[in-house]
């Protein structure tokens, strides 16, 4: 069974999560501050880490950065804040997902299952055939996770990549913000779709603005579509 590390300074919350995860059959360890979190994460082979943002000694963002220098273990951030930019910052720093406190335990368990499944798929996906999506000057290599415009490589974060990929898989078809949120970002609950706008803005600044192409079109009140230029 999967091994999960909880990094959470609020003892009651940590204990509650620990009991629920143990009940589900997961092997669980927990630590109470950021520095211990980095040490534990990098010294033991965990399958997933639940990481609180507000922690003593080192905050969760810094813990995440230090873990990411050495490990791509799935990390779900536990955040008390509800600001979209905080979530984006966490995801861009390499978090796989986040959940806002207070959360229902079923929601957390569902996200853990998704993150573990994705990890397993990535580990077994290396033998898949390479698929390259092409649209105008933009090409997107699904398996290598590479995007280029006119042959010039573009640095995209994982989430930016997933949004672009979802759009490029269905050129000419309007994708609602809700669908992009659930397909590309794994957020299937209402009210989180504004996070999609942040990624669209970032994609536009990296592709449309820089290369003077107009690939991504806004469909007001609905969502976005990508078309052959």
Q: Which residues bind Ca ion (CB under 5 A)?
A: 9, 52, 54
C-beta closer to Ca ion: residue 11 or 19: 11
C-beta closer to Ca ion: residue 8 or 47: 8
Dihedral angle of Cα 108, 109, 115, 116, to the nearest 10 degrees: 150
> 67: part of which helix (H) or strand (E)?
helix 60-70
CB of 214 to Ca ion, least distance (A): 44
Q: Which of 141, 157, 163, 178 is nearest to 215 (CA)?
A: 163
Please identify the residue of the shown chain whose CB is closest to the bound Ca ion: 54
CB of 105 to Ca ion, least distance (A): 18
C-beta closer to Ca ion: residue 80 or 85: 80
> 17: part of which helix (H) or strand (E)?
helix 11-23
> 4: part of which helix (H) or strand (E)?
strand 3-7
Token reading at 25:
């059959």
CB of 14 to Ca ion, least distance (A): 9
CB of 8 to Ca ion, least distance (A): 6
CB of 101 to Ca ion, least distance (A): 9
Strand partners, 147: 140, 154
Angle at 212 between CA 208 and CA 215, to 5 degrees: 40
78: DSSP letter: E
C-beta closer to Ca ion: residue 18 or 52: 52
C-beta closer to Ca ion: residue 9 or 141: 9
């Amino acid at each position: 069974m999967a091994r999960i590390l909880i990094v959470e300074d609020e003892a009651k919350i940590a204990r509650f999560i620990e009991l629920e995860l143990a009940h589900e059959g997961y092997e669980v360890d927990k630590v109470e501050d950021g520095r211990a979190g980095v040490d534990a994460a990098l010294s033991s082979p965990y399958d997933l880490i639940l990481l609180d943002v507000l922690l003593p000694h080192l905050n969760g963002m810094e813990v995440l950065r230090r873990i990411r220098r050495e490990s791509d273990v799935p990390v779900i951030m536990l955040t008390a804040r509800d600001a979209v930019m905080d979530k984006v910052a966490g995801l861009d720093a390499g978090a796989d997902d986040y959940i806002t406190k207070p959360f229902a335990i079923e929601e957390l368990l569902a996200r853990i299952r998704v993150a573990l499944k994705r990890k397993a798929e990535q580990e077994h996906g290396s033998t898949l055939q390479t698929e390259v999506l092409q649209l105008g000057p933009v090409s997107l290599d699904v398996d290598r996770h590479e995007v280029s415009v006119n042959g010039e490589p573009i640095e995209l974060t994982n989430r930016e990549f997933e949004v672009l990929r979802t759009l490029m898989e269905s050129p000419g078809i309007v994708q609602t913000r809700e669908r992009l949120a659930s397909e590309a970002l794994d957020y299937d609950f209402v009210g989180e779709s504004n996070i999609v706008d942040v990624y669209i803005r970032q994609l536009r600044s990296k592709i449309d603005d820089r290369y003077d192409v107009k690939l991504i079109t806004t469909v007001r009140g609905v969502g976005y579509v990508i078309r052959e230029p």
